[in-house]
């Protein structure tokens, strides 16, 4: 299997009212490097895209990527660049990007031009920015690419902030991350939710499990789905004893804590999202937590209940 380390540059409207709804971000440059199984660079791809939608360079884009409209005029239309790029990728590969946005924007641009979708469901990829944080920092911070390059003492032999150079440095950072660690922290782009139950994503890592549900027409349907709300221990599959019932402090994230006699406290977190077809789906993680984390969450739950009581009392005019 090969790795395609990809970086895109995109442009947007400078005037919010003139922003095209289905294409907020128009890709203007595609850069990528291909790595073999040993994560050694074997090929490269770099192409400018001639804009079709936004004819002025947004000031942030200009500042960020040092590209002028005149240069882009020499580019090819997106459909041609995308076709060449996907042919260049070949067949057996996995994407890697710096941060989680590139694959979403690539798919959105493909969709805007009615091109064949990259996939009918979630796409597994390596988020190298996240992996860098897990490998060398606290796992939560998100640093700039240049920070990571400096941190790892990678030679800065080409300038930053163009698609190809950023893909090149991302690949260099990726090559320094332990393979096992990378493979146990695969990310999923969910531009499209799984189309049915058979395509739902279940992954079990040592410290947590992840489930990506299919898409539902309504949030209600999602939240009443048995697979979404299942609270069995992800380690042994046995039922857990309820410690904190499902609750949602913000109507976006839902929490539950169960107790497994063998594995202790298990927290479930359901994040509700919408995919590109306006279907509701969820990303659910289950994780073993210690007693202290359980107590903190319990306090949150108590507060949530008190607030709810107050709201009800207010609504009744008391
Ligand atoms: Zn268990």
Query: How far apart are the CA of 304 and the centre of ligand 1, in A?
Result: 28
Query: How far apart are the CA of 266 and the centre of ligand 1, in A?
Result: 8
pTM: 0.89
Query: How far apart are the CA of 150 and the centre of ligand 1, in A?
Result: 42
Query: How far apart are the CA of 187 and the centre of ligand 1, in A?
Result: 25
Q: What are phi and psi of 289, to 5 degrees?
A: -125, 160
pLDDT at 65: 66
Output the 3-class SS for 163-210: HHHHHHHHHHHHHCCCHHHHHCCCEEECCCCCCCHHHCEEEECCCEEE
Query: How far apart are the CA of 189 and the centre of ligand 1, in A?
Result: 29
Query: How far apart are the CA of 176 and the centre of ligand 1, in A?
Result: 35
Query: How far apart are the CA of 138 and the centre of ligand 1, in A?
Result: 27
Q: In whole angstroms, what is the distance from residue 258 CA to residue 263 CA?
A: 10
Query: How far apart are the CA of 257 and the centre of ligand 1, in A?
Result: 13
Query: How far apart are the CA of 293 and the centre of ligand 1, in A?
Result: 18
Q: Do 296 and 276 contact (CB within 8 A), yes or no? A: no
Instruction: Name residues whose C-beta falls within 8 Å of residue 8's C-beta, 6 or more positions apart in sequence.
Output: 27, 29, 30, 31, 102, 105, 106, 163
Question: Would you state the structure tokens that stand for residue 172, as one six-digit string?
Answer: 């260099």
Among 114, 85, 77, residue whose Cα is nearest residue 102: 85
Relative to beta strand 2-11, strand 93-97 is parallel
pLDDT at 6: 97
Among 272, 225, 223, residue whose Cα is nearest residue 246: 223
User: pLDDT tens per residue, the chain (318 residues)?
Assistant: 999 999 999 988 888 888 888 898 999 999 999 999 999 999 999 999 999 988 887 877 666 666 778 888 899 999 999 999 999 999 999 999 999 999 999 999 999 999 999 998 999 999 999 999 999 999 999 999 999 999 999 999 988 778 999 999 999 999 999 999 999 899 999 999 999 999 999 998 878 999 999 999 999 999 999 999 999 999 999 999 999 999 998 888 999 999 999 999 999 999 999 999 999 999 999 999 999 999 999 999 999 999 989 988 888 876
Q: What are phi and psi of 56, to 5 degrees?
A: -115, 145
Query: How far apart are the CA of 289 and the centre of ligand 1, in A?
Result: 12
Q: Which fold has domain 2-183?
A: Nucleotidyltransferase; domain 5 (3.30.420)
pLDDT at 220: 95
Among 266, 126, 122, 136, residue whose Cα is nearest residue 183: 126
First-to-last alpha carbon distance for the chain, in angstroms, is: 65
Query: How far apart are the CA of 258 and the centre of ligand 1, in A?
Result: 10
User: Which part of the chain is CATH 3.30.420.10?
Assistant: 2-183
Q: Do 161 and 111 contact (CB within 8 A), yes or no? A: no
Query: How far apart are the CA of 236 and the centre of ligand 1, in A?
Result: 4
């Amino acid at each position: 299997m090969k790795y395609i380390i990809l970086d895109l540059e995109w442009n947007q409207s400078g005037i919010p009212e003139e922003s095209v709804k289905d294409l907020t971000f128009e890709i203007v440059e595609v850069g990528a490097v291909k790595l073999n199984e040993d994560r050694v660079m074997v090929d490269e791809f770099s192409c400018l895209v001639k804009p079709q939608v936004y004819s002025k360079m947004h000031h942030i884009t200009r500042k960020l990527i040092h590209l002028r409209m005149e240069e882009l005029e020499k580019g090819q239309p997106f459909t041609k660049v995308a076709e060449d790029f996907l042919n260049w990728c070949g067949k057996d590969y996995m994407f890697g990007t710096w941060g989680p946005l590139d694959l979403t924007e690539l798919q959105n641009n493909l969709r805007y031009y009615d091109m064949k979708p990259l996939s009918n469901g979630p796409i597994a990829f390596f988020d190298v920015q996240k992996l860098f944080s897990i490998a060398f920092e606290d796992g939560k911070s998100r640093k700039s690419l240049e920070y990571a390059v400096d941190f790892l003492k990678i030679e800065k032999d080409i300038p930053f902030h163009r698609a190809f150079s950023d893909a090149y440095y991302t690949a260099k950072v990726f090559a320094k991350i332990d393979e096992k660690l990378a493979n146990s922290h695969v990310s999923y782009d969910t531009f499209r939710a799984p189309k049915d139950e058979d395509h739902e994503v279940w992954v079990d890592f040592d410290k947590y499990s992840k489930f990506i549900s299919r898409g539902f027409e309504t949030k209600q349907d999602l939240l009443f789905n048995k697979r979404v709300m299942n609270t069995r221990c992800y380690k042994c599959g046995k039922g857990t004893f309820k410690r904190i019932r499902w609750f949602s402090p913000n109507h976006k994230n839902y929490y539950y804590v169960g107790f497994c006699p063998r594995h202790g406290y298990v927290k479930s977190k359901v994040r509700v999202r919408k995919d590109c077809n306006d279907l509701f789906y969820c990303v659910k993680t289950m994780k073993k937590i210690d007693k202290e984390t359980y107590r903190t969450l319990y306090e949150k739950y108590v507060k949530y209940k008190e607030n709810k009581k107050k709201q009800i009392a207010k609504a009744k005019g008391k």
